[in-house]
Every structure is written in structure tokens, then in C-alpha cells.
């Protein structure tokens, strides 16, 4: 297993721990759910984006891991002359502009949306735990896809 792929898997493991803590806090109902969401969402987003960056590096067959992973395809280091971007990484670039990766990469508002008593439809721009669970599944599938591609090369 390449170092970036190992780092990606470590991030996904840490993400599951953060998700469990988030779920636990929501179930305990000690704090308002929006406050809990605002506390956990940015942290989990960073862990997921780090995992994604390590996957990008692994997919490009980068052997020497940088100190911090990129969070987008455009932030990847240049490939050596004569090499092209692997197909799975090109697919990630497309997902960054129109797919689930675009949603994961979107900035999270650090401010609670104030709901007026007469407006029940108001909500926050903070992704929910359920949304992060779906992103986590997508990242897990991407990790498997990249690991398979590495094994085949």
C-alpha cells in the first residue's frame, strides 16, 4: 500500500470516530442540534478533504507524501514529463465541479441561521451528519477504486 493510500485510510478511520462522537452528542441532546452540527461539520469536512487529497496523490502514484494533502485536483503536484492524469483522477476533477465532491468542498458557514418564529422553513447551510455519512461512503468507494487501480498497475 502506498503511503498516501495508507494516510487516506487513516483519515477515513478518524472520520468514523468523529461521526460517532457527533451522533453521540446529538443523541445526548445536551446542546442544540445546530450548535453540535456547527462544532462537528467543519472538523469532519477537513478530515474528509484530507482523505480525498491523499486518495488523489495515491491515484497519481505519488510515492513521497507531502506534509499536507491537496484538497482539489488542481492543487496536485505536476506529473513527471510524459505522464498523463489517470482516468480515476480525471473523473474526480469532474465530480469537483458538478458532483458530490463539489458539495463536500463547499465552504461551511460558521454562523447559525437564525430562525424566525414565523418561518419554519429556514435552515442552516451546515451539512448534516447524514450528508457526511453519504460522503464517507462515497470516499470509501473511491478509496477502493483507487486501491484496485494501483493493484492493477
Residue 53's pLDDT is 98
Residue 84's pLDDT is 87
Q: Which three cell numbers stand for residue 4?
A: 498516501
Mean pLDDT of 19-33: 97
Q: Nearest to residue 52, comparing CAs of 20, 26, 91?
A: 91
Q: Nearest to residue 70, comparing CAs of 151, 149, 24, 7?
A: 7
* Banded pLDDT at 114 (limits 50, 70, 90): low
Sign for the CA dihedral angle at 97, 103, 105, 109 comes to positive
Instruction: Pick 54 or 80 by higher pLDDT.
Output: 54
Residue 79's pLDDT is 82
Report the C-alpha gap between 145 and 8 in whole angstroms: 13
> Going by C-beta distance under 8 Å and a sequence separation of 6 or more, which residues neighbour residue 40?
18, 21, 22, 25, 129
* Banded pLDDT at 122 (limits 50, 70, 90): very low
Phi, then psi, of 113 in degrees rounded to 5: -80, 125
Whose cell is 441532546? That residue is: 29
Report the C-alpha gap between 27 and 36 in whole angstroms: 11
Per-position DSSP letters for 38-51, written without gaps between them: HHHHHHHHHHHHHH
Q: Which three cell numbers stand for residue 54?
A: 491523499
pLDDT at 143 over 80: yes
Residue 94's pLDDT is 95
Amino acid at each position: 500500500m502506498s503511503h498516501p493510500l495508507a494516510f487516506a485510510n487513516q483519515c477515513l478511520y478518524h472520520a468514523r470516530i468523529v461521526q460517532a462522537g457527533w451522533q453521540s452528542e446529538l443523541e445526548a441532546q445536551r446542546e442544540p442540534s445546530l450548535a453540535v452540527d456547527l462544532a462537528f461539520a467543519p472538523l469532519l469536512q477537513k478530515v474528509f478533504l484530507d482523505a480525498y487529497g491523499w486518495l488523489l496523490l495515491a491515484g497519481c502514484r505519488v510515492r513521497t507524501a507531502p506534509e499536507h494533502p491537496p484538497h482539489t485536483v488542481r492543487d496536485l503536484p505536476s506529473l513527471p514529463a510524459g505522464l498523463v492524469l489517470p482516468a480515476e483522477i480525471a473523473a474526480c476533477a469532474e465530480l469537483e465541479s458538478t458532483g458530490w465532491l463539489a458539495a463536500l468542498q463547499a465552504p461551511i458557514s460558521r454562523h447559525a441561521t437564525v430562525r424566525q418564529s414565523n418561518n419554519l422553513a429556514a435552515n442552516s447551510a451546515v451539512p448534516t451528519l447524514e450528508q457526511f455519512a453519504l460522503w464517507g461512503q462515497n470516499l470509501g468507494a473511491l478509496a477502493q477504486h483507487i486501491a484496485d487501480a494501483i493493484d492493477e498497475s
